[in-house]
């Protein structure tokens, strides 16, 4: 009997993909009750469930070893169909290792093009506000360069590729709705200005850190999820520290738990967590 997930087109987004961050710990007591053969077969099923090339796997599947007590390993999954994503979780829990897996955290979101990403005309207006003269050679060059890369940037926001970097960090966040500091009551122009400043800070980490913002309004307890990948773990600390001085963050941001992990295939996770030799 087939257990493949639904391919119902009505579950797919008009643009972008569904995204899940899932975290698990191994129950050592439950593992101790398993026979060697059960552990061996369970490890095989575990690796198969987390194989990005497995038939029925989401279009993006990244696994990682998590630092600290919050979890032993984490998954980041993206696909047009949310049930294709959830099927990975169900395969893990139905495997022989399932009784020894304790889900510790999940975050459900979708990819989007933020309302603060300017189109070409808006970018041109921003250049003028920053001191450029419309129709000047410098203005024209910057506008043409932005127009040339905008499609690729939006494609990466909606259907992202994972960068080939080993260190990653995920955290959820909200914008404040406090009296006197309510992000959602600010004029759009002011929010655009604050986010533009925030974006300029992030761009200073180009070549060292890649960021993906997913939206969770209506999907989870927080409003956005932030995923960072870095060439070195130190850059994760550096970018979060620097960006907290921007007004959009310092005044209006609220942060949830941080999960720092290191990209690794299933076999490496099993060895690292001492389930196999």
171 is catalytic: yes
CA 250 vs CA 172, 193, 213, 244, 258: distances in Å: 16, 15, 18, 5, 17
The residue from 23, 24, 105, 171 that is catalytic is: 171
* Dihedral of alpha carbons 44, 50, 52, 55, sign: positive
Coil, helix or strand at residue 112: coil
Please check whether residue 235 is in contact with residue 167, taking contact to mean a CB–CB distance below 8 angstroms. yes
Contacts 24+ apart (CB under 8 A), 66-71: 66/23, 66/259, 66/260, 66/261, 67/260, 67/261, 67/262, 68/260, 70/23, 70/104, 70/105, 70/257, 70/259, 71/23, 71/24, 71/25, 71/104, 71/105, 71/259
Q: Which residue has the tokens 């001492």?
A: 274
CA 271, CA 176: separation in Å to the nearest integer?
42
CA 83 vs CA 20, 78, 102, 164, 255: distances in Å: 11, 11, 20, 27, 28
Please check whether residue 84 is in contact with residue 4, taking contact to mean a CB–CB distance below 8 angstroms. no
Which residues are designated catalytic? 171
């Amino acid at each position: 009997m087939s257990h493949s997930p639904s391919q119902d087109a009505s579950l797919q987004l008009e643009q972008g993909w569904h995204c899940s961050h899932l975290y698990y710990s191994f129950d050592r007591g439950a593992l101790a009750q398993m026979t060697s053969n059960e552990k061996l077969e369970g490890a095989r099923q575990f690796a198969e469930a987390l194989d990005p090339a497995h038939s029925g796997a989401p279009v993006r599947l990244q696994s990682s070893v998590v630092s600290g007590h919050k979890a032993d390993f984490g998954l980041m999954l993206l696909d047009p169909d949310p049930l294709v994503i959830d099927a990975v979780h169900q395969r893990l829990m139905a495997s022989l290792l399932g009784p020894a897996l304790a889900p510790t955290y999940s975050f459900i979101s979708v990819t989007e093009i933020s309302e603060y990403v300017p189109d070409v005309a808006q970018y041109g207006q921003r250049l003028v506000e920053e001191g450029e003269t419309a129709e000047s050679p410098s203005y024209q060059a910057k506008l043409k360069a932005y127009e040339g890369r905008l499609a690729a940037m939006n494609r990466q926001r909606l259907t992202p590729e994972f960068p080939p970097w080993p260190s990653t960090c995920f955290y959820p966040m909200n914008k404040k709705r406090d009296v006197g500091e309510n992000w959602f009551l600010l004029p759009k122009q002011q929010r655009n200005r604050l986010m533009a400043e925030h974006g300029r800070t992030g761009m200073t980490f180009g070549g060292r850190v890649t960021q993906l913002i997913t939206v969770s309004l209506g999907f989870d307890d927080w409003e956005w999820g932030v995923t960072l990948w870095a060439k070195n773990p130190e850059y994760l600390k550096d970018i979060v520290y620097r960006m907290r001085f921007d007004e959009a963050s310092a005044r209006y941001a609220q942060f949830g738990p941080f999960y720092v992990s290191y990209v690794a295939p299933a076999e490496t996770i099993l060895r690292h967590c001492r389930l196999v030799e």
